[in-house]
Structure 1
Amino acid sequence: DADYVSPRQEMKIPLAACDAFSREAGFSSVTVQDRMGGRLAGEHLKSLGHSRVTCITTNMICDDFERIQGIRDAGLQTDLFMISGDRTIMREQFRKHDFSHVTAVFCVSDRQAMELLCILHERGIRVPEDLSVIGFDGIEAGIWAVPPLTTIAQDLEAKAETAIASLFEDPASHLIDVELTVRRSTGYAKTIL
């Protein structure tokens, strides 16, 4: 919140913060239902027989934390895999990580999930036959991933429209719905020996 307070005090125009829950007076915040999205991802994986999931994130604060809590709310065991925000380092981490003890991976963003899909292909790990992968955001590029990426989609247009509309209203926190978009990167859990 402190990151938003300073600019708000300096600016004399309305402010809306996206992907943030600010409880500070004076401006609105717009975010998606991150925890519900994580729960939708977890329930989908659970319906396919998955019980243990590796959750990939760069941090455990704000939306990433809420998305992972949602996976846990669905009753899945979770392992955290903290990765670097630097793409080169992240790809190397994906190359070295042992995924043999889980049947599914939840990435807190589609971009991470698509990088992972590329590295898994290089390693000869089949998706979804060996490992299911699900992302979060619903970016259009996920349609063309190989295989197409299952994701928790957010309505970016609704988020933008809400943020703009909130500039002309009393400051408030706004939540945007999310929905599960099932594609071919998730499948039934394999047996782990």
Structure 2
Amino acid sequence: MRTVTGLREVAERAGVSMRTVSNVVRGTGRFSEATRQRVERAVEELGYRPNSAARRLRTGRSGVLLLAVPELTMPYWAELAEHVLREAAARDCTLLVEVTGGRPEAELEIALGHTDPMVDGIILSPLALDDRAAARAADPAPLVLLGERVHDLPCPHVTVDNTAAAREATEHLLARGRRRIGVVGRQLAPNAATSATRLAGYREALEAAGLTYDETLAPPVTAYHRSDGATAADALLDLPDPPDAVFCFADTLAEGVLHAARDRGLSIPADLAVIGFDDIEASRYMAPPLTTVAPDKRELAHLAVTALLEGVNGTRQRHQKVLRAAHRLVKRAST
């Protein structure tokens, strides 16, 4: 028995359109009993996901979920996707993963449900989603949002308390006696929620310690890649009065900072303490191992998949709800 990779082959075998196949397996739209039987027979003959096909024909749901993230080359997103995949599998669901590149038009298409018609629901981590345009969806697929920005949409939003986490990271550096603390991760884009929420926590900690926020210690970055961290570190270390510590809004940025510091012969943490955010696997093996904020990725995945399936099954209340996963500070040799 061979496996079909899409709806087209089922539609051709049954002699109907792909939309009709989708309507039959979802139990939506109009079709005759004879059409239903032809589609069901084609599904069985072609062996198209036999277990989930039976569920589709019985319940109108496919058991297929979509996770859409900005990119998978960033370790954080790859690791989170792995947790979401495991959580979906534990619920007998299949997970599709799509990369948006952070493009507003790609995020909007996904938020509007313009995806594979077999997808039951969507977990989306947007960077530049237009809430007003997304709210115009006539009959959107169940949607859960991931990330720091709270959207004005009637769907669950899963996140961590980024401001509190950033405040704790900065307080850790202050407790180590550091007073000139640079920050790497400030972005100037209007929807840069990661930057805004984490910068707020950093500033709160400085203010509580009686220190003034100095924008020269917060060079802007365009992205959160290693090269961006290295470039920002060079700008900080070229200052007449360079920092004695750096808080990075992502571990990949911290990796770039460590690289730039080593190139200058600096000792970590004696000359420069460095702390990151995300607790990616590589942070344990950096030189030295990186102190970092660890969002509970497993809990993020659990909350997101649970909320999505509640929407798919119609058991979730319609009002917006923010769901927060835990975080903790992991102390290692870089501070």
Give the structure-2-normalised TM-score: 0.51
Pairing 1:13-24 to 2, within 5 Å after superposition: 13-24=141-152
* Equivalent AA in structure 1 for residue 166 of structure 2: G
Of the three residues 161, 171, 184, the one matched with 2:333 is 184
User: Are 1:3 and 2:141 matched, yes or no?
Assistant: no
Q: CA RMSD in A?
A: 2.3
Q: Which 10-residue stretch deviates more, 31-40 or 57-66?
A: 57-66
Question: Does the aligned pair in 2 maintain the 1:21–1:173 contact within 8 Å?
Answer: no
Q: Which 10-residue stretch deviates more, 53-62 or 39-48?
A: 53-62
Pairing 1:131-146 to 2, within 5 Å after superposition: 131-146=272-287
* Equivalent AA in structure 1 for residue 204 of structure 2: D
Q: 1:37 to 1:3 in 2, by over 3 A?
A: same
SS at match of 1:82: coil
Q: How many residues align?
A: 186
Q: Which runs of 5+ in 2 are unaligned?
A: 1-127, 311-315
Deviation track 1:81-109 (CA, whole Å, cap 9, x = no partner) reads 11232655653453454264321001111
Identity of aligned residues (%): 29
Q: CA deviation at 1:166?
A: 1.3
What is the CA–CA distance in structure 2 between the aligned matches of 1:18 and 1:141, rounded to whole Å?
A: 23
User: Are 1:49 and 2:177 matched, yes or no?
Assistant: yes
* Equivalent AA in structure 2 for residue 14 of structure 1: P
Question: Does the aligned pair in 1 maintain the 2:226–2:254 contact within 8 Å?
Answer: no
Q: Which 10-residue stretch deviates more, 104-113 or 72-81?
A: 72-81
Q: 1:173 to 1:53 in 2, by over 3 A?
A: same
* Bigger Rg over Cα: 2
Q: Which runs of 5+ in 1 are unaligned?
A: 187-193
Question: Does the aligned pair in 1 maintain the 2:219–2:235 contact within 8 Å?
Answer: no
Deviation track 1:165-189 (CA, whole Å, cap 9, x = no partner) reads 1121234111222111000001xxx
What is the CA–CA distance in structure 2 between the aligned matches of 1:39 and 1:22, rounded to whole Å?
A: 19
Q: Which 10-residue stretch deviates more, 172-181 or 55-64?
A: 55-64
Question: Does the aligned pair in 1 maintain the 2:144–2:307 contact within 8 Å?
Answer: yes
Q: 1:124 to 1:11 in 2, by over 3 A?
A: farther
Residue number in structure 2 paired with 1:35: 163
* Equivalent AA in structure 2 for residue 162 of structure 1: L
Residue number in structure 2 paired with 1:173: 322
User: Are 1:83 and 2:221 matched, yes or no?
Assistant: yes
Residue number in structure 2 paired with 1:190: none
Query: Which structure has more strand as a fraction of its residues?
Result: 1
Question: Does the aligned pair in 1 maintain the 2:269–2:334 contact within 8 Å?
Answer: yes
* Equivalent AA in structure 2 for residue 31 of structure 1: T
Q: Which 10-residue stretch deviates more, 58-67 or 107-116?
A: 58-67
Structure with the greater relative contact order (CA < 8 A, sep ≥ 6): 1 or 2?
A: 1
Of the three residues 94, 114, 129, the one matched with 2:255 is 114
SS at match of 1:138: coil
What is the CA–CA distance in structure 2 between the aligned matches of 1:80 and 1:95, rounded to whole Å?
A: 12
What is the CA–CA distance in structure 2 between the aligned matches of 1:41 and 1:88, rounded to whole Å?
A: 22
Of the three residues 145, 149, 152, the one matched with 2:290 is 149
User: Are 1:64 and 2:64 matched, yes or no?
Assistant: no
SS at match of 2:243: coil
Q: CA deviation at 1:34?
A: 0.4
* Equivalent AA in structure 2 for residue 184 of structure 1: A
Residue number in structure 2 paired with 1:104: 245
What is the CA–CA distance in structure 2 between the aligned matches of 1:5 and 1:157, rounded to whole Å?
A: 31
SS at match of 2:219: strand
Query: Which structure has more helix as a fraction of its residues?
Result: 2
Question: Does the aligned pair in 2 maintain the 1:57–1:83 contact within 8 Å?
Answer: yes
Q: CA deviation at 1:24?
A: 2.3
What is the CA–CA distance in structure 1 between the aligned matches of 2:169 and 2:256, rounded to whole Å?
A: 19
